[in-house]
Structure 1
Amino acid sequence: MRRTMRLRTVLCIFAVSALVGVSFLRTRTELFAKDPKARSTLNATTLSPSQRPDLRDRPVRPPQDYLAIHIDYEDEDRHLAEAAFWPSPPSAGLIRNGAKGNFPVTNPKYTTYRLVNPRDSYTIECNVWLESGTPHCDYSDPYAGVTWVCDKPRTLSCDRRVNHWVDYEASSVYCPLSDGQKDLINIEGQSFKAVLAGSPEFVHVKTMGKKMLSMLPRPRCAPGLPDPYPAMGYFIKDIWTSTVCKTRHFKSSQYLDCLQNKELYFMGDSTGRQWFELLVDTLRLKHMNTDPFITRRAGPHLAINEKRNITVRFRVHGYPLRTGGLNVSHVNFLAREIDTIHGGPGYVLVISVWAHFTSFHLDIYIERMRAIRAAILRLLSRSPGTLVVLKTANTRTGVPRLNSDWYAHVLDRLLRKLFENLKVVILDVWDLTLAHRNRDEIHPVRDVVRQEVQLLLSFVCPDYETQKA
């Protein structure tokens, strides 16, 4: 009988050193209200890429709204002059976020993966890099910016792989946290954050009323806009309004009109898959998968509406992957997958690559994104009418050994740098997820995902009149 192997992922925390202090000296905050009538319906608002509804993750409840500003990521003194969107004396505080000493900046690997053969009961390590001296199975793809190797099994050939999965319990065994590292993780599972003592209790918000509207000119949502850093906006009644461009607020019935005769391909991690799933549910698309071994988490997925000529796809980005039950035959690295699509007017490519890279050295992320960038350039060269959207990271809680808003923020900065001056959309959802009344989650709640998709559709159909229906 043919013997097969399964892949198991074992997750290790980064080597964590002492917190690097962040300077808040001479920091001054000026807040201005936009609409005095918004207070009674406001859920939360955001002014910087690092705000939270409440410093301790408590939901805000009008009229006692909370405004929390997470001021500094780069050891700099800041003078903030930001716009608030409702009048009141909100509470204010400063959060210290662990800086470079906490994250993988020198070691190429901080996550261990395992290749497991259940029949022979042995475990083999896989990773982006392994010590030399033993035979390896090399599954790397330099064209796609992927380095991936495993120790060679004693009795199986390298092509006898079947499944890849994650094992969080084994991670705690192989990579236990030190006492010092455990102290950096609070009871919410949010690592490397601390509220600074002596934070100001209140900030006075001046009412400027409708005059504020003329101070916020918003262009049409389109590729090539200046990088909105930080991107700002506000929630009212769970509806997000961006100050970066003229966001549209689509009713569910209007999704069909906007997406008629269009094809959307979501590539990347599960935060992008959430967009795919929302569209499938909202549009009541028909799933076309025929392979019984395709998993919900990894895909590839295909769903259509034949009458409206709408096609929506999803595919996971490939190793490293902290997911389970993945048949390795379904893995195709994104640079190669992008080379297979036709593109053109009516074609939307959405890339979301970040969540599985927060336990690796920056070079691993850069290598992958450079290959994806080259593939996008080839796509835009052969099909210049293609709309390419790069989704940023969102804030999160969850598995402490993987959770770092600071490091996700660093990846976001790299993403912007790699794709600057290209005619693509950097769709910033960082502030959107921070501002919502729900706590931060690696997989945001459906209300948040819907607003992310609304923002996406504002670029897909920027001229659609959402008030007409």
Structure 2
Amino acid sequence: MKEGNEYRTWKGPGEKEEEVKNILTKLDGLMPSITFTHINTTTSAKNSKATVLNHKDSYCVGDHLMVRLDLYDHLGKKKEYGGDFIRARIYSSSLKAGASGHIKDYSNGTYLVNFTLFWEGDARVSLLLIHSSEAVSALWAARKKGYAKIAFTGTFLNGKSTVFTQCGFNITTKAELCEYLDERDQEGFYCVKPKNVSCKAFIALKSYNSATSYLTDLERSLVKRSNIGVEIPHTFGDIRVVPCESNKTMSSERCRFRINSPFPSGFALQNQWHPVFCNMANLNTLDQIHTSLKGKIVYLFGDSTIRQWMEYLTRTVRTFKYLDSHGVGAQRNLIAVDMDRNIQIQWKKHNHPLITAYEYQTRDHNYIAREIDNIAGDKNTAVVIAVGQHFRPFPIELFIQRAINIRKAIQRLLLRSPDTRVIIKGENIRELDIDQERFSDFHGYTQDLAARDVFEDLDVGFVDAWDMTIAYTTPNVHPPSHVIGNQINMFLNYIS
């Protein structure tokens, strides 16, 4: 505990801080930096145009559909710079099919979208302007300005009564603070010390959106719901796709570990996910799931998007039985076992930040890196990690630092147990009507780029949930069961 003015997670320069700075520099190089004085000079989806460059009456499966985007502002003037955050997707409702498009930004208001035509039948194009380049510039600048968008309330036990106090990553105060530090990994969290109460009596935490905003009123107008996810108009209708013998869209190679999968990494057809870089078996029957998991212990670390995996498995595989983990609330740690097949699955939430208005216990909190350090590991051990959603409202350094700490723990695990299977699950896209300054998918996208940088040299599997949830067009932080089932199917392919 210390008294003073300002307490930060970073405790000094070092190799990790240098890596964080390098990744930030790369991200800065991708971001527009724009000053504007009126919304009329910002990108207008409705005034923009989409044109097919290689129009045909029909295309072969495996062909590419090339679409040029020319973006204009609200006054009808062609944009002279890039940086717009666009979501491109090709889909077929009748075939329950979808895939992302690859977007190239020419930095002059023109973009080229490359769609691979993965399936036979009809296909339609969706082009959404999620954020104008001006909004991207504002969101990126605002994210760097501080930690105050989310406020935390800590609960301390004082005898048989409870007292509440302010907590957070960065507290400016002259009051005495309780410091909860991991010196090795340079992680820190702080609470204003309640009078006459021990710092060791910290038992619970919850959060809420504060009144703080780092956007101006004009910038906030760019991220209101009516300006988010607006369709860029086009006049071309259904794309007709027919089979051709010479074209191939999928690999015959068995799914192997790699973090930097291509984009798009796959496509959905009849609601089944097909990666383009490997041949994924469909392991979705009860017997196949049992066979894949028999004798294994699976650790699921992270947020509620990976807790969904556990909930899906225990709902689908009725032989799993939950053990009493003696926690309370939705964030309690979960353990389920199948005694006959010697299967154990655990879910544990990641440590600060956990953003929820519902109070949760901190006594069973731990950093994922520390949890990984406690795993012995062997060929029947699998570790799945999913972090990101709860980091979006904070400066991205916090996320990058956490990812580096997790990477180092994975490296230690694989040194003592090379046969342990480690899988990174990417972020899901989420709702468009949520507070964009705090939770925009733009923040998730930057974290996805950073995570690929941090984990790229590891021998780990990667479930590209970002690409999957775009392809399935599920703008919900908790996607429906068929999407979760396909994420788990890919995981089972990695560990089988």
Superposed pair shares fold, TM > 0.5 = yes
Structure-2 separation of matches of 1:274 and 1:35: 33
Match of 1:40 in 2: none
Structure-1 separation of matches of 2:277 and 2:354: 33
Structure-2 separation of matches of 1:306 and 1:193: 49
The amino acid of 2:463's aligned partner reads L
Match of 1:147 in 2: 188
CA offset at residue 126 of structure 1?
A: 1.6
1:129 maps to 2:170: yes
CA offsets per residue over residues 141-189 of structure 1, 9 Å max, x none? Answer: 133442211222233221221211234xxx365669875465344558x
Q: Equivalent residues in 2 for 1:32-431 (5 A)?
A: 32-34=59-61, 50-52=87-89, 61-62=93-94, 71=103, 75=107, 77-84=110-117, 85-88=119-122, 90-97=124-131, 98-103=135-140, 104-109=142-147, 110-116=149-155, 124-167=165-208, 171=209, 179-180=217-218, 183-187=221-225, 193-195=228-230, 199-202=233-236, 205=239, 207-211=241-245, 214-223=248-257, 225=258, 227-253=260-286, 254-284=288-318, 285-291=320-326, 293-299=327-333, 301-323=334-356, 324-397=358-431, 399-401=434-436, 402-431=438-467
Structure-2 separation of matches of 1:74 and 1:163: 49
User: Against the structure 1 CA distance between its residues 94 and 153, is the aligned structure 2 distance closer, same or farther, given a 3 Å change threshold?
Assistant: same
CA offsets per residue over residues 78-132 of structure 1, 9 Å max, x none? Answer: 4343312244462443525242421344224132222356999975322111225
1:434 maps to 2:470: yes
Q: Is the 8 A contact 1:139 1:149 kept in 2?
A: yes
Q: Is the 8 A contact 2:155 2:164 kept in 1?
A: yes
Q: Which deviates more, 138-147 or 389-398?
A: 138-147
User: Against the structure 1 CA distance between its residues 260 and 89, is the aligned structure 2 distance closer, same or farther, given a 3 Å change threshold?
Assistant: closer
CA offset at residue 271 of structure 1?
A: 0.4
The number of aligned residues is 419
Q: Which deviates more, 383-392 or 86-95?
A: 86-95
| Unpaired segments ≥5 residues, structure 1 | 1-15, 37-47, 55-59, 462-469
The amino acid of 2:428's aligned partner reads N
| TM-score normalised by L of structure 2 | 0.74
User: Against the structure 1 CA distance between its residues 378 and 121, is the aligned structure 2 distance closer, same or farther, given a 3 Å change threshold?
Assistant: closer
CA offset at residue 279 of structure 1?
A: 1.4
The amino acid of 2:221's aligned partner reads D
Report the identity percentage: 23
Tell me: higher relative CO, structure 1 or 2? Use CA pairs within 8 A at least 6 residues apart.
1
Structure-2 separation of matches of 1:436 and 1:26: 22
Match of 2:30 in 1: none
CA offsets per residue over residues 210-267 of structure 1, 9 Å max, x none? Answer: 43653533421111x3611313322232222221211121233210011111111000
Structure-2 separation of matches of 1:138 and 1:17: 39
The amino acid of 1:244's aligned partner reads F
Q: Is the 8 A contact 1:141 1:147 kept in 2?
A: yes
Match of 2:481 in 1: 446
Q: Is the 8 A contact 2:88 2:127 kept in 1?
A: no
User: Against the structure 1 CA distance between its residues 282 and 395, is the aligned structure 2 distance closer, same or farther, given a 3 Å change threshold?
Assistant: same
The amino acid of 1:219's aligned partner reads E
| Unpaired segments ≥5 residues, structure 2 | 1-33, 64-84
Structure-2 separation of matches of 1:325 and 1:268: 17
CA offset at residue 379 of structure 1?
A: 0.1
CA offsets per residue over residues 410-464 of structure 1, 9 Å max, x none? Answer: 1011111011121111210112112225x41001111111111111112112xxx
